[in-house]
Amino acid sequence: MRKQIIILPVLLGIVSVSSALDSGGSFLKIDSAARAASMGAAYTALASGVEAIAYNPAGLTRTEGAEVAFSHTNWIMDSRHDYIGVAFPLKASGSGHPMHNWVAGLGIVRLTNSSIEVRNVDRSNSGSFTSYDQAVSIGLGRVVAGNRLGLGFKYLESYIAGERARGLAIDLGFSRALRTRLPMTVGLAVQNLGRGMKFMEQRDHLPLSFAAGLSVSVIPGVNLAFDAKRLVYDKQTTISFGTEYAILSGLALRSGYLANASNGNTKNNGFSAGLGINLWDASMDYAVTPYGELGNTQKVTLKKRF
């Protein structure tokens, strides 16, 4: 389905620039994992395995063997959000090897927008253009004295009507299990440290964020999670809660609430829900998030462990 806009051709360049700047970093706020989305994005402390690349690179250290994951979302306004990632321990001979106990991850996320028709004020067709946003991330994680540490590097690119914006960013992560009566984990993450996306001669800020999270295993199979995140340049603070209940050995039900939540110009109603199925070292996670008049977004994540 094509979108239509009515615009004078001489203004097309200006609109293209402003659109790219508006979306150049906003796509980084969209959840890449259905498990996280169904729990209201309260995932800083829970992040684990290949999914951790997008939330807290310290969670890479929870990877057991190699993992591959793929996520797909029919996003709003006929756009598509896709993620594919892989994580694996780095093999080394001997405990004294410098790469011993490191875990590496690679993730690619892409938001593809539908074709946009451009029309003149007399409604005559002036052509169309396409746009997309994508990020390629490389992450490393290691456990040091009981602390899980992570570091991530990103290459970012936005494309619209033949013009590109590019940028680089760094993510930092930390998590640690606490010695308490109930199994509890704290997590900290800094995401999107960088100079921003440069489009032509203008540079736009990335969605720099600082997040703190806490997860508690109330009883075996029941997890509660809490996150607080500060979006620095947006001057916005989000609070999120999530629950996860494993009712059977291979089935989990999840729900969450994200207060003051927005992705670019879209704002959800706060609530989300989903489920997970785990069989034979493989899993499928599903999440649904309502966006009011814009409809619901549905995300599916498939993951395989080797």
What's the rounded Cα separation, in Å, for the pair 144 and 151? 13
What's the rounded Cα separation, in Å, for the pair 149 and 164? 33
Cβ-count burial 184-216 (b if 16+ within 10 Å, e if not) = bbebbbbbbebebbebeeeebbbbbbebbbbbb
260 φ/ψ sector (left φ>0, alpha ψ -120 to 50, else beta): left
Residue 119 bridge partners (DSSP)? 6, 125
DSSP H/E element including 227: strand 222-231
Superfamily, domain 3-305: Outer membrane protein transport protein (OMPP1/FadL/TodX) (2.40.160.60)
Per-residue model confidence (pLDDT) at position 118: 61
CB 77 within 8 A of CB 89: no
pLDDT in tens, 179-197: 878 899 999 999 999 988 8
Regions of the chain with pLDDT less than 50: 1-24, 263-266
Per-residue model confidence (pLDDT) at position 231: 92
Per-residue model confidence (pLDDT) at position 5: 43
What's the rounded Cα separation, in Å, for the pair 284 and 63? 17
Vertex 169 angle, CA 167 and 174, to 5°: 170
- What residues does each domain of the chain span? 3-305
Q: DSSP for 138-203, please give it.
A: EEEEEEETTEEEEEEEEEEEEEETTEEEEEEEEEEEEEEEE-SSS-EEEEEEEEEESS-EEETTEE
Per-residue model confidence (pLDDT) at position 120: 56
Beta-carbon-side half-sphere exposure of residue 237 (alpha carbons within 13 Å):
4
Neighbours of 24 (CB within 10 A): 28
Query: Which among 270, 254, 250, 252 has a CA at the least distance from the CA of 262?
Result: 270
CB 50 within 8 A of CB 303: yes
State pTM to two decimals: 0.83
